Amino acid sequence: MESNTISNELRSLFSLVVFPGGCFLILLGLSYEWADRKLLARFQNRIGPRWFQPFADIMKLLAKEEIVPEGVDRRLFIGLPIVALTGALTAGLYLPILGVKTTFSFPGDLIVTLYMLSLLTLCMGLAGANTLDRFSLIGATRTLTQLFSYESPFLLALLGPALFSNSWQVSEIIAHTDGHWLMLTQPLGFLVAMIALMGKLELPPFDAPEAETEIVAGVLTEYSGRGLALFRLGKGVELVIGLTLVSTLYLGGITNPLTFFLKTLALLLIIVVLQALLTRLRIDQTVGLWWRYGSLLVLLQWFFLILLQGSAI
Amino acid sequence: MEEQKTAQSFTVPIGPQHPALKEPSHFRITVDGEIVTDAYVRLGYAHRGIEKATESRTWTQNLYMLERICGICSHIHGMAYCLAVERLAQVQVSPRAQAIRVLFAELERIHSHMLWFGVTAHEAGFDTLFMYSWRDRETVMDILEELSGNRVNYSANILGGVKFDVDKSRIESILDGINFLEERTQYYLEVVSTDTLFLQRTQKIGTMNRREAEVLGTVGPTARASGVNRDIRIEAPYAAYDQFPIQINLDDSGDLKARVLVRLRELFESYRIIHQILQNLPTGDLTVRMPRRIKQGETILRVEAPRGELFYFIRSNGSDTPDRIKVRTPTICNMMSVIKLVVGHQLADVPMILAGIDPCFSCNDRMVMINQSNKTSHRWRWEELRQYGIKYYQQRAA
Amino acid sequence: MRFAAMMGDIASALIHRPVTEQYPFERREAPERLRGMLHWDPEKCIGCGLCVKDCPAGAIELIVLDKKAKRFVLRYHPDRCTFCAQCVFSCRQGCLSMSNVDWELAVTERSGLIRHYGEKKDVEEVLAGSLKQDSV
């Protein structure tokens, strides 16, 4: 009995730290970042980075000195990247990364996943507000404004399948929607979820918070060395988790590694095409877009869902 | 570091080091949230003392010094200098050399406008358009390399003519390249006029009506996009422009979209002129003998650089080094319009408006010395200045 | 409302190879008129020195060993040269030319960069002489 408990504990620890959470998730995040950059480069008719480029970037950043600017709160400055990465990694605990059924699952874990993803964005906003640099302050304002605008349509769009499966638990939703592609029955929700995912990941056209030509690097302007490496890892992990979430909920669940790669890479392809096609939106245009069209579409979707639900019962 | 907030406003520095600027300059933008309330510009980071350095070099050596004022307007600077010095020395250059000079000038205009187009797309966040337009710019750089041996700073001018000839075997490859570029420019024109998101970033932004454009003193495509009908190639044709005339491209809206459209349409004019020149290249020698000492005198010359009106004043005292060369580049005329226009727009529009005037900061650093020790001052009214100009040109034509 | 204005290019990018030329491994042939390293033909030189006078960067020095016998040595500084080809056109005898194969001129130290052109024994004489005097 005790050895059973100990081996259970060891198994949980293993899946938390090594596979499929923790280290494996970080490596997966780096590979997806590579796939994103390589595909974008090919669409722009250029070659793109080699397969180990994101890994080399992180290694290089970890080897450099971390400069803490004068006048900032030192503990916040150093601690926020760590909290951000932790939030992103925690969000992955409840999802079927690589098709492996999660060992941690409890009712309501969909909400926890979504909040952990927002924790990353919130940490970046706080990090920008903490730094006294003017560019970081404007970047922080833009990040938080953008968070305000896409967050509610994103959450509502992802809760549509939860409504369909009558459960807030990811593993139950998977069991309910296995083979059933909600993309076809809830198209508006899928559309909103995809576009909002681009907003969450701050990919073009929603990359006003880190607009290189206006505010240098936005929130991350003053970060260097380890802090920057952790934020970038967090973004890579966020990419994987966002893709897994949307493909789990809308593309009929993930049960084995092959479907994991196929579905998430298909979604990544669509996202990269949208990145290459569209110009950056100004922050006021982003807010206008979301509060006009985004919310409207998702509310329409929910209206239909509730109607259908009511008629089914 | 002092707190930069004063009563709800906040200063954002753009430059001297900034990813949006290709060359250093300093803009101090005061914002209130995201709306710009005030702007201040400080230039001078690329001042190299070129005008002073020309006073101690011979006429031949100065050609290369002046060519390096700017990277993408280098040929037009060299051409303006050669035309002015040839006028001072009263030497007639052969029509073939003039036509080849115009050929290079139009190729340079294509190069400059394609570069600018990519940079504007990059400032808007449209990286795909940036990559593709710079890929196509390689075609015109290859043409220039075949003709002159260098992709930038072609050094095609020489006092008295040009260095490189255009023979029949090269004409075909040039025309192939030009036809490819024409197709691609047509495609870009379509993209810029119809893509919804790009239009959202350029339409109704930085609007300047015709009166404002004239009062602020803007020149070049920036002014032509507001309806100001000035183009030096038409008003005062130099080199071979009287044989191969240009048609002007105007637009009434005066916003960023108009500036993009005017420059893209100018590309079509350039393609047409290049076709004409290559088909009707006049015969003649390439160079004419120039004296080493240029006669005493002074002259002014205006040419149309890709950015606007370029003005040269050259004074010679009869020796083999010039007495004074003064250059006034177009960017410095257009810079004030940026300061005026950004107020009221959002911070995200500031790099776009700056890119809309096609700034070339290495051209525009000049020094003006105001001599206040001399107590007698003479005030010229606008009419007097105008009459002086008319008399000057009449004397020169006589 | 057109969102996908550049779709044509993006779709065709999947079919075509990237245009990037991977330089050290793929090398394009240089065009004929490329202005690379300067070369001097001592046979035709009359020692007028126009090339030295006209060079905007002072990259050419003409060392006269014997003007009557036309023994000259040309000292060329590639690090000062701007590759403008003014000297090529100033020379009325056609002694100077710019190579189009010798254009990869980057080095890690300046010491070996200066070139001396001329007949072998003249160059040796100059090099021996310059070792005695201070280098200029």
What residue of B is the nearest CA neighbor of A70? Answer: B1
pLDDT confidence of C132, banded at 50, 70, 90? Answer: low
Write down the mean pLDDT value for chain C: 84
A105 found inside a domain: yes
CB contact C1 to A (< 8 Å): no
pLDDT at A2: 62
* pLDDT mean over A81-105: 85
Structural domain contains residue B25: no
Q: For residue B124, give the CATH number of its domain.
A: 1.10.645.10
Q: What average pLDDT does the segment A208-222 reach? A: 82
| pLDDT value at residue A292 | 87
CATH number at residue C46: 3.30.70.3270
- Asked whether the beta carbons of residue B19 and residue A134 sit closer than 8 angstroms, the reply is no
> What letters, b where the CB count within 10 A reaches 16 and e where it falls short, cover B4-19?
eeeeeebebebbbebe
Pair of tokens at residue B139: 């075609």
pTM above 0.80, yes or no: yes
Structure tokens at C116: 């001396």
**Per-position pLDDT tens, chain B of length 398:** 344 444 567 888 887 888 877 788 888 999 888 889 999 988 888 888 888 899 999 999 999 999 999 888 899 999 999 999 999 999 999 999 999 999 999 999 999 999 999 999 998 888 999 999 999 999 999 999 999 988 888 889 999 999 999 988 889 999 999 999 999 999 999 999 998 888 988 988 989 999 999 899 899 999 999 999 989 999 889 988 999 999 998 998 989 999 999 999 999 999 999 999 999 999 988 899 888 898 899 999 999 999 999 999 999 998 889 999 999 989 888 888 889 899 989 888 888 899 888 888 887 767 666 666 666 667 777 788 888 888 888 887 76
Read off the pLDDT of residues A118-151 as tens digits, 9 standing for 90 and up.
999 999 999 988 888 888 888 899 999 999 888 8
Going by C-alpha positions, the residue among A149, A190, A157, A147 that lies closest to residue A288 is: A149
Range of the domain at C81: 31-132
Radius of gyration of chain B (CA): 22
What pLDDT is recorded for position A161?
84
Nearest to A43 among C5, C13, C20 (CB): C13
**Antiparallel, parallel or unpaired: β B324-328 and C38-40:** unpaired
Most confident of A105-109, B96-100, C2-6: B96-100
Does residue B372 belong to any structural domain of this protein? no
Residues A32 and B226: their CA atoms lie apart, in Å, by 47
**Residue C61, φ and ψ in degrees, nearest 5:** -130, 135
Helices vs. strands in chain C: H and E counts, helices first: 4, 5
Residue-level pLDDT at B3: 44
**A46 chain-C contacts, CB cut-off 8 A:** 18-20
Provide residues of C within 8 Å CB-CB of chain B. Answer: 1-3, 5-6, 8-10, 19, 31-35, 53-57, 82-86, 89-90, 98, 100
pLDDT at B89: 92
CB contact under 8 A, B125 and A204: yes
Interface test with B, best of C23, C50, C87, C89 (most B CBs within 10 A): C89
Any domain includes B374: no
Instruction: Give the alpha-carbon dihedral of A240, A242, A247, A253, to 10 degrees.
Output: 80
State the sign of the Cα–Cα–Cα–Cα dihedral B19, B24, B25, B28: positive
Cis previous bond, B16, omega within 30: yes
Q: What is the pLDDT of residue B277?
A: 93
Instruction: Name the domain count of chain B.
Output: 1
Let me know if residue C111 belongs to a domain.
yes
Q: What pLDDT is attached to residue B2?
A: 40
Q: Is B30 helix (H, G, I), strand (E, B) or coil?
A: strand
- Picking from B4, B5, B127, B188 by the largest number of A CB atoms within 10 A of its own CB, the best residue to mutate is B127
Answer whether A133's CB lies under 8 Å from A217's CB: no
Q: Is residue B31 part of a domain?
A: no
pLDDT of residue B221: 93
CA distance A80 to A75: 8
Residue range C54-60: mean pLDDT, rounded: 91
In whole angstroms, what is the distance from residue A218 CA to residue B48 CA?
33
Looking at residue A215, its pLDDT comes to 78
Question: What pLDDT does B70 receive?
Answer: 87
Strand partners, B316: B297
Who wins on pLDDT, C106 or B97?
Answer: B97
Whether C39 shows a pLDDT value over 80: the answer reads yes
Range of the domain at B292: 50-361
Q: Do A45 and C14 lie within an 8 Å CB cutoff?
A: no
Containing structural domain, residue A160: 56-312
Q: Compute CA distances B74 → B180, B230, B364, whole Å.
A: 25, 22, 13
Q: What is the ipTM of this complex?
A: 0.89
Does any domain span residue A31? Answer: no
Residue type, position B308, single letter? G
State chain A's mean pLDDT as an integer: 86
Q: Which residues of B touch C (CB under 8 A)?
A: 57-58, 60-65, 68, 128-129, 132, 135, 138, 145-150, 155, 158, 163-164, 187, 190-191, 194-198, 287
Of A47, A276, A277, which is closest to C20 when you measure between CB atoms?
A47
What's the start-to-end Cα distance of chain A, in Å? 45
Query: Is residue C102 included in any domain, yes or no?
Result: yes
Residue C102 Cα distances to C36, C88, C98, angstroms: 6, 16, 9
Q: Which residue of A has its CA nearest to B34?
A: A138
Q: Which chains touch A (3 or more CB pairs under 8 A)?
A: B, C
Could you give the CA distance from residue C33 to residue C42 in angstroms, rounded to a whole number? 22
Domain contains A107: yes
Distance CA B231, CA B266 (A): 11
pLDDT tens track for A237-289: 999 999 998 888 888 777 788 888 999 999 999 999 999 888 888 888 888 88
pLDDT value at residue C26: 85
Number of independent structural domains in chain A:
1
Helices (H), chain B: 50-53, 59-67, 74-88, 95-124, 127-148, 168-194, 196-202, 210-216, 221-224, 232-235, 256-279, 331-342, 350-356, 382-397
- B136 or A171: which carries more pLDDT confidence? B136
* Most A CBs within 10 Å, among C1, C3, C16, to test the A interface: C3
- The total domain count for chain C is 1
User: SS3 sequence, chain A?
Assistant: CHHHHHHHHHHHHHHHHCCCCHHHHHHHHHHHHHHHHHHHHHHCCCCCCCCCHHHHHHHHHHHCCCCCCCCCCHHHHHHHHHHHHHHHHHHHHHCCHHHCCCCCCCCCHHHHHHHHHHHHHHHHHHHHHHCCCHHHHHHHHHHHHHHHHHHHHHHHHHHHHHHHHCCCCHHHHHHHHCCCCHHHHCHHHHHHHHHHHHHHCCCCCCCHHHCHHHHCCHHHCCCCCHHHHHHHHHHHHHHHHHHHHHHHHHCCCCCCHHHHHHHHHHHHHHHHHHHHHCCCCCHHHHHHHHHHHHHHHHHHHHHHHHHHHHHHC
